[in-house]
Amino acid sequence: MISNEVVTATPREGKFSKNAARRVRKAGKIPAVVYGAKLIQRILYSESGHNTIFDLEISGSAAKTKAMIVDWQHEPIKGTLLHIDLKRIAMDKPIKVEVPIVLQGIPVGVKIEGGIMDQVLREVEIECLPGDIPSAINLDVSEMHMHDTLRVKDLPHAGKLQFLTDEDATVVHVIAIKEEAPAEVVDVAAAPAEPEVVKKGKQETEGAAAAAAPEAKKDAKK
């Protein structure tokens, strides 16, 4: 997606130490090459996110260039933006980007057949011209039945973009809910069986005692 936003950047001069980076952040700016933290955050959290293409102005140059954010870093506790990397974009050359997959609707297999929907793939890598980058790829799943699977090749798209992710990769499927065995069955199955050797020994002992009883009575009479 192409934005009308214009970001102003200032080239670095000399070495850029950690102390210099702290001073830049304290001034409400983003270290590296781009100034204007609020504008960058607005771009990152927009509908098209880091795939947004915007105009980049560089101090000392009258010309603007198209750019997009290719990497960024947040402070882990406060969540403030610490650093970003930009890439110049040539509008007439294809680029590779990842776009989110948005599922639409509720599958028949969930509403009527008692299954659950499992989304395996949430982003897909594509290649296209910068002006043709979609903010997301919408996939209608309302007609999916139990055990149905939709793959990358099933994603709707115009001929303007090419999928780089394996086209046989599973995007979403409807699966059955696993049923647990009743508690009493599980308890019986889990109980350890008495070893056959012990049973046999016990029976032999009882038999020997029974056989010896008459002999003991004879001896007593004598």
In this predicted model, what pLDDT tens digit does every residue of 28-67 receive, in sequence order? 555 554 445 677 788 888 888 888 988 887 766 667 888 8
Q: Which two tokens stand for residue 108?
A: 């028949």
d(CA 126, CA 94): 10
Closest by CA to 30, choosing from 60, 61, 75, is: 75
Question: Which residue in the block uniquely carries the two structure tokens 């969540």?
Answer: 79
Superfamily of domain 2-88: Ribosomal Protein L25; Chain P (2.40.240.10)
Which of the 8 DSSP states describes residue 34?
A: B
CATH T-level assignment (fold) for domain 95-175:
RNA Polymerase Alpha Subunit; Chain A, domain 2 (2.170.120)
pTM of the model as a whole? 0.61
pLDDT at 164 over 90: yes
Residues 6+ apart with CB under 8 A from 155: 101, 124, 137, 139, 163, 171
Highest-confidence range of 121-135, 189-203, 206-220, by mean pLDDT? 121-135
**Residue 131 backbone dihedrals phi, psi, to 5 degrees:** -70, -10
| Domain spans in the chain, listed from the N-terminal domain onward | 2-88, 95-175
